[in-house]
């Protein structure tokens, strides 16, 4: 057909090491930012920016669109991982506190 614009999605090659190295690195670097007087509501944005930076400049440096696409996943995975760990830890502490009060 004439006049039809075709757009192809980028081919993204990712592997196990992206998740094992990139996501924990983003969580750790974001935690290091807590040493500075930055309001807590900005930390998900910092994690997202770190995800984009690692993906675009390290993991997928030869394909900008794959880097942008995967950067969103890296940042979101780091935010979700931190949130899950924080919630689980709070629930564990609350459960232990209830057990301690029952025992006394």
User: CA 66 to CA 69: how far, in whole Å?
Assistant: 5
Residue 17: pLDDT above 80? no
Domain ranges of the chain: 16-103
Q: What is the mean pLDDT of the chain?
A: 89
DSSP E strand boundaries for 1-104: none
Burial category of 89 from C-beta neighbours within 10 Å (exposed 0-12, middle 13-18, buried 19 and up): exposed
Find the mean pLDDT for residues 17-21.
82
- pTM of the prediction? 0.77
User: CA 72 to CA 77: how far, in whole Å?
Assistant: 8
User: CA 26 to CA 75: how far, in whole Å?
Assistant: 7
Chain segment 24-62, per-residue pLDDT in tens? 999 999 999 999 999 999 999 999 999 999 999 998 888
């Amino acid at each position: 057909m004439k006049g039809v614009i075709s757009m192809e999605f980028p081919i993204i090659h990712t592997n196990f090491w992206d998740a094992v190295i990139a996501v924990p690195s983003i969580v750790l670097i974001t935690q290091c930012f807590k040493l500075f007087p930055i309001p807590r509501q900005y930390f998900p944005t910092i994690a997202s920016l770190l995800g984009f930076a690692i993906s675009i400049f390290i993991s997928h440096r030869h394909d900008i669109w794959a880097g942008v696409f995967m950067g969103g996943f890296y940042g979101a995975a780091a935010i979700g991982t931190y949130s899950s760990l924080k919630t689980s830890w709070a629930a564990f502490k609350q459960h232990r506190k209830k057990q301690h009060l029952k025992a006394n």
